Structure 1
């Protein structure tokens, strides 16, 4: 929260964008920001649960590198596009199953509702701006 209040609400996005642009100027062939993706392997026989997000697994659990993600560029209007993205905590990818956490479905539903409301508010704000500026087209 401190970083947001000092650096603005888009602080993390701005830092990623800055890093991508800096890496592009340094090396054309391997430009971008690269991050490694890890999975922590739980041990159910030692009490690691997948249905209670309040129970943290010990740091001693094995980490496995799953791959990497590289960001090569940032879209010009990415901040605007971000307003239409809805986070879904349930992986909806063939071959990847969600945990048995009973809160996942509720969270997914709440995020969907929140995203729809945010989109509706954006559309309403845009229409209000168009009316106020005389640019709304009637059909």
Structure 2
């Protein structure tokens, strides 16, 4: 019984988070993004922190063009993109996503999986192409997303 009572708070925490952040984490992410907008926090510091980061905008999740976003959503999307691209490399003309779980990057599972699938699709397109497609990944690409 003692063991069960010890696990109960942990299971409740995990079920509330469900890989996509709980309300407290989301409120903190919103607050930190506002601090960046108000120039009280450097976006690079936030991107390199271990604070959970997400973005909710459905349109934002269906586009790779962060430039179309504004305000807090743009800041949050930049931080998420930075964390993802920081863990991406190009090896033998294939994208290699080094992060194995969204928890490593402190981002929602649904966003992690979306990017992961995009990298797999790109790799599959290269493999199945009759033309020689050359994938590219500029040096320090993750840094450039912070300035868009």
- State whether TM-score is above 0.5: no
Look at both structures and tell me which one has the larger radius of gyration over its CA atoms.
1
TM-score, reference length from structure 1: 0.29
Point out which structure has higher relative CO (alpha carbons under 8 A, 6+ apart). 2
- Structure with bigger helix share is 2
Instruction: Name the TM-score, length of structure 2 as normaliser.
Output: 0.27
Q: Which has the higher strand share?
A: 1
